[in-house]
Amino acid sequence: RQGSVVLAASPALKKDFGIKTGSKLFEIPEDPRIHIVNPQMKLFIRVSTEITKLFYRFVPEKCVHTYSIDESFLDAGKE
């Protein structure tokens, strides 16, 4: 939709076109180098869950610090 916002853009697009996170779709110039990709949230959630499960295979639960669906930190220090 034209009112949608940019959630991510490559550094080159940001530099060449002045695109930034939060830009509206209607602000994006029509250019063959720009590819608009719709999110696939169901896939994103499934993969994120599998990655988190993988963390738990290698470090104790108390050492996995999940902050959001796509951001986790592992305390891999001495146990």
Q: What residues act catalytically?
A: 71
User: How far is 68 from 77, CA to CA, in rounded Å?
Assistant: 22
Label the pairing between strands 71-74 and 64-68. antiparallel
Tokens read off for 2: 């034209």
